[in-house]
Structure 1
């Protein structure tokens, strides 16, 4: 074989390898590993936050509970405030470096929490974790510009599986680490692994030279295109809104996205409230003794397994079917499953309903984000995703306060029935938008036919 033929064979092999393992899949693998490590480290300490704070605090039990609540809720608040800004910066600078930056910040925060000498410094690093993180938004924005338009839903679903897998493994690994090496050493190892992932992302992540999503700006995107900053002289124009304000206006005037986001917020609220109230539900209806924690652990594991299988499957369907219709189906099934849980007297059946709950709930957020990515103008994906996730966090915060309202009801079962109504309200909102859209189109067609007949006459 000649040298030229040998070079040609080598080039053909490289081309075949790239087809089997294209750039967007290589990027997705790096994003997946980084998200899994971060979720593993953070969820491995969250269930045992009370014990870690108890070692740092010296006050009464009520003060320890207060500090624990601040440490748990604080990152969500700072995340909600800063994530649109990181998304905007990613659109202007580099989505790759936003992902690397988030990994470095989270790794340093984990190390800071592990070696915090006082409770104040520990809570400060928890707040910084939420404010400086934003790894999820950076990864979704990276997927938006690297995955093909007909595979974006599948890519988001696979990435969502990293969150679910890390959430499943985190409490298990963290629980074992608490007894063997302690939470401080566990956080140190997780922080070092996160920093190693940042180096891996720095080396392996690549943004395609020609962006894959060349979706034209449709009429539904007219406000986004008009309001969004671009790389022209209009950046300095004061007559057009830009940044987070432009994203908020875009969501408000885009009827479908507005109702999809509202449904996502209600879904987040229901999922968070359900997780918070379930210990009381188990104690009231099944067991109030030592078996209660094991039951709760089994139920949470079943929910995670269902979400792990559901995220990818629903997102693949979203690439072939209308996402809004799939979200309606998943929300209706979610409400039905929650109602069944309130009426189930057998614990084994309850585990099956939690498995189904994880499966159907896993559809909502990836499909909502996919719709936002598909509707966003080029150069606006990051800030739109960041703003959307900031809005979705409000549902999580609202759900964390719902147990206080449910405790005032005669029974926890009544509270679960109320939680089950939330997904149904979200489904009704999206369906009402679809009905209104069809009515408007029919009316427009009739007016057009009437004008055409008048002109003929």
Structure 2
């Protein structure tokens, strides 16, 4: 097998395990806080769950640029192994947490050392022949998506059979295995001398340059608002499922199933909406999907059973599938070739910011307006974002793209 294919196969597995490991706790985090860590009261549980879920993104937001710089200087494989082995250790330690603040600190530490997937994507792009680049990057990305989809479902199944704490040990062991395989089997050609001599660029200077392109500030803001609306109710869904389910039997499984449904429809819809955007324009798809996602949050607040909620979450994912890909497509279209990586980097920061603020806001507001109210807030956020996106991006000159396709 050619070297780039070996790298791709191993890193696909690694991205799958990392994404699955990061999302396995979603179905039972609230239950883990309540039953194992002694947190009482729905509002307190929701607040702690929101903080713990978001903490990983908070530290990741600040440290990802640092790891990116070190990757350019010392090599992508070194950053890959640093992140993989580090996260495997932290994940095992989470299973020994005796209080919610300990789990919070460990999630923050996990965010500090994270970065396996960006390093894997960068390494694949550097080792793959140009004529196979699209296939390789699409394949490694599919590993991440598959892990995100199956992680909550696997976490729910294992929680029902093994309890909550063993899942952290299992996940840590799988991450250690993936990192070991990467260490032994992945090869990288990296010229450290050339990297040391390369010109140092200022991130602030590049940011100022990109912000002068009128479409980009709007697109960065849209990314933040999308993630804020999507993540606000995420940590609260297990509590909502528990209320609808009415029994503890298979509760973690149903929580995982509800979480996985959105990811499954997202994965199915994304390529179909991508093809449609080539015909009618990314701008139109972005606005339509924002409207559709906002509308699909409303019936979730009034769901009376788990199967009903499952249907609404699946339909929501159909619209979500058109959001991030179209934003990325538009960013690529309006960014100079010399600054594409920087633009996507700043867009990733916007995404992380939405990931961290959304759950915290959802947890804080849940005591005032309830879980159902958070669904309505998310719906209003996306609907207002669709209106603001239409007006701001048309004003920036993107309307013509939407008309001509």
2:108 — aligned with what? 127
1:113 — aligned with what? 94
2:403 — aligned with what? none
Structure 2: give runs of 5+ residues left out of the alignment.
401-405
Deviation at 1:391, TM superposition (A): 2.0
1:221 — aligned with what? none
Q: Are residue 261 (structure 1) and residue 215 (structure 2) matched?
A: no
**Does the 8 Å CA contact 1:137/1:385 hold for their aligned counterparts?**
no
Q: Are residue 84 (structure 1) and residue 65 (structure 2) matched?
A: yes
Give, in whole Å, the separation in 2 of the partners of 1:96 and 1:148: 18
Higher relative contact order (CA 8 A, sep 6+): 2
1:195 — aligned with what? 176
Give, in whole Å, the separation in 1 of the partners of 2:178 and 2:6: 14
**Does the 8 Å CA contact 1:328/1:431 hold for their aligned counterparts?**
yes
Give, in whole Å, the separation in 1 of the partners of 2:36 and 2:374: 35
**Does the 8 Å CA contact 1:157/1:316 hold for their aligned counterparts?**
no
When the two structures are superposed, what TM-score results if normalisation uses the length of structure 1? 0.68
Give, in whole Å, the separation in 2 of the partners of 1:413 and 1:51: 19
After TM superposition, the structure 1 = structure 2 runs for residues 300-379 of structure 1, keeping only pairs within 5 Å, are 300-314=259-273, 323-339=282-298, 341=300, 350-369=309-328, 372=331, 375=335, 377=337
3-state SS, counterpart of residue 108 of structure 1:
helix
2:83 — aligned with what? 102
String of CA shifts for 1:177-205, please: whole Å, max 9, x gaps: 34554544433332232122223334444
Residues 404/152 of structure 1: CA separation in 2 closer, same or farther (3 Å cut): farther
When the two structures are superposed, what TM-score results if normalisation uses the length of structure 2? 0.75
Residues 26/68 of structure 1: CA separation in 2 closer, same or farther (3 Å cut): same
Give, in whole Å, the separation in 1 of the partners of 2:339 and 2:198: 15
2:362 — aligned with what? 402
Deviation at 1:132, TM superposition (A): 0.5
Deviation at 1:264, TM superposition (A): 1.4
Give, in whole Å, the separation in 1 of the partners of 2:318 and 2:281: 19
**Does the 8 Å CA contact 2:215/2:398 hold for their aligned counterparts?**
no
**What is the number of equivalent residue pairs in this alignment?**
391
Q: Are residue 289 (structure 1) and residue 246 (structure 2) matched?
A: yes
Deviation at 1:133, TM superposition (A): 0.5
Give, in whole Å, the separation in 1 of the partners of 2:162 and 2:123: 36
After TM superposition, the structure 1 = structure 2 runs for residues 30-45 of structure 1, keeping only pairs within 5 Å, are 30-45=10-25
Q: Are residue 242 (structure 1) and residue 202 (structure 2) matched?
A: yes
After TM superposition, the structure 1 = structure 2 runs for residues 135-214 of structure 1, keeping only pairs within 5 Å, are 135-142=116-123, 145=126, 158-178=139-159, 180-205=161-186
Deviation at 1:82, TM superposition (A): 0.8
Q: Are residue 252 (structure 1) and residue 233 (structure 2) matched?
A: no
3-state SS, counterpart of residue 232 of structure 2:
helix
String of CA shifts for 1:57-80, please: whole Å, max 9, x gaps: 5x7747984765554332221111
Q: What is the RMSD of the two structures over their aligned residues, measured on CA atoms?
A: 4.4
Give, in whole Å, the separation in 2 of the partners of 1:348 and 1:182: 24
String of CA shifts for 1:182-241, please: whole Å, max 9, x gaps: 54443333223212222333444456899xxxxxxxxxxxxxxxxxxx987863xxxxx7
Give, in whole Å, the separation in 2 of the partners of 1:354 and 1:440: 30
Deviation at 1:263, TM superposition (A): 1.3
Residues 158/272 of structure 1: CA separation in 2 closer, same or farther (3 Å cut): farther
1:75 — aligned with what? 56
